[in-house]
Amino acid sequence: MLGIEDKTERNERVYKAVRVYGYTHKEVADASGLHYSTVSVIVKRVAGASKHQD
């Protein structure tokens, strides 16, 4: 995805695109080459991980 090899970094960027910048899952999926449902799973996982770190 966009020259990113590290999945952790990719997932953080996907999460930010959706939650911070307001892109839809489909927009992020189209730009990244991921399936929109994969984007959804990533956003949920990163959000869940964030809650556990607080």
Give the pLDDT score at 2: 60
pTM reported for the whole predicted model: 0.84
Crossing angle of helices 7-19 and 36-53, rounded to 10°: 90
Give the pLDDT score at 39: 98
Question: For the chain, which residues make up each domain, given as ranges?
Answer: 7-53
Distance CA 4, CA 40 (A): 19
pLDDT over threshold 90, residue 34: yes
pLDDT over threshold 90, residue 36: yes
pLDDT over threshold 60, residue 1: no
pLDDT over threshold 80, residue 33: yes
